[in-house]
Chains A and B, each alone.
Chain A
Amino acid sequence: MGAAVGTEEGGKRSVNCELNIVPFIDVMSCLAAFLLITAVWVNIAQINIQPKGKNRDITQVQQDDEHVTLSVLVQADRIWVGLSRVNEFQEIPKKGEEQDWEKFETTLKEHKASAFFADRTDIEVAGESTSQSPVTYQDVIHAMDVAVKVGFIDVGLTDPAGLAARPQM
């Protein structure tokens, strides 16, 4: 490769010249090596949460009692979506080996579109795990991720006893 300028007209001497690209290749090689070494191949992100729970935070209890709170309880075999004060609960049973995330997302979208939550972004999530039916961190993260995607960006994580709306079984 090189830049060549040629004027062969009239029998004059050739003015062809070649650009020396060796330094360019050197710089490119060094840059490529540096970038390859420093590259971060795993993309790590974050989900921001606030620890919540009316059993531990007195001011939160007063706030919670004033308005309807959307609560999500992740269990090993189902997910509950409930509204405090109204005491309405929707049960989303597991679909095969995995939770039914599609239905969960649809349910949250419906709630987001409702009059209660159209202008609100808060939600509380809890995972109820026992040694017999454990709930994994991945499931809770998935539930929070779906909530953020739907528009509930103020996710609060609490323990099951701290949920504003808890299904009675």
Chain B
Amino acid sequence: MPVHSAGPRLYHSVKFRHLVKHTGSAAENRASNVSMNLVPFVDMMTILVTFLLMVFSATGQLLQAQKGLELPIADSRDTLQLAPVIIVTKSEITYQGQLVATTESVLRDDSPTFKIDALYERLDAAAKKIKEEVGLGKLPKDLAKACEDAKQNIRPQPGKICPDGLAILQADESTDVRLINKIVNTSKAAGFDNLLFAVKNK
């Protein structure tokens, strides 16, 4: 394709002769090249790009959207970090996307152990695997440091918590607290003694 010097293209590259014929400009032998004013367009694009760059999140999406799940609202602005996710919707409990139990069956269960057995099995296996990875040092530097700090009881930065014993609970705002208590107990029994409750900012 030939390279043209900068300037209006209408009537040369873009054939609008048939339009010009019906306008007065052609009849009066006036130039019919039209230069569109792009200043407002560029201004708008600049503002839009600036805004989008400001709200851009490089951390990606840690949580999956679930049908029938409305997160509780809170003022807390601490950032989430990657960890195994327990999801509690109005009807079911899932772990890492796999169905574990229905909320109804868990609420009906009055066992004295106060645990959800199916969830415990999965969490226990996951906790052992994570502990092994942490022990072998298969962690990024910042998280390895967080694990060292945790041993010395140094408070971690939000988003930089040692993954050993860390899990995310993503539960619907209308969930019965009895269910949450059971999940927290089960998590603790399986070795997840640090839970992040996912919340939506106001």
Q: Interface of A with B (CB < 8 Å)?
A: 1-2, 18-21, 24-25, 28-29, 31-32, 35-36, 38-40, 42-51, 53, 56, 74, 126-129, 131, 134-142, 144-145, 148-149, 157-159
The 5 closest A-B pairs by CB, nearest first: A127-B177, A35-B52, A51-B188, A145-B74, A138-B173
- Say whether A21 contacts B38, CB under 8 Å: yes
Q: Does B19 contact A (CB under 8 A)?
A: no
| Contact of A25 (CB < 8 Å), options: B38, B78, B80 | B38
CA distance A42 to B170 in the complex (A): 14
Q: Is B171 an interface residue (CB 8 A)?
A: yes
The reply on B193 being an interface residue by CB < 8 A is yes
- Report whether over half of chain B's contact residues are helix, strand or loop; otherwise say mixed: mixed
Please pick, from A18, A145, A159, the residue contacting B185 in the complex, using a CB distance under 8 A.
A159
Tell me whether B48 and A32 are in contact (CB under 8 A).
yes
| Whole-angstrom distance between the Cβ of A129 and the nearest chain B Cβ | 4
**CB–CB A28/B39 < 8 A:** no
How big is chain B's contact interface, by range? 35 or more
Query: Please, could you name 17 A-B residue pairs with CB atoms under 8 Å apart, sorted by A?
Result: A1-B37, A1-B38, A28-B46, A35-B56, A42-B200, A43-B201, A45-B80, A45-B199, A47-B199, A48-B161, A48-B195, A50-B193, A127-B177, A136-B174, A137-B174, A137-B175, A142-B74
Interface residue B131 (Cβ < 8 Å from any Cβ of A): no
Verify if B45 is at the interface (C-beta below 8 Å from A): yes
Contact partner of B79 among A42, A45, A134, A136, CB < 8 A?
A45
Task: List 19 extra interface pairs beyond A28-B49, A42-B200, A137-B176, CB under 8 A.
Answer: A25-B45, A32-B49, A40-B61, A43-B201, A45-B76, A45-B77, A46-B198, A47-B76, A50-B194, A51-B195, A128-B177, A129-B177, A137-B171, A138-B73, A138-B173, A141-B197, A142-B74, A149-B75, A157-B184
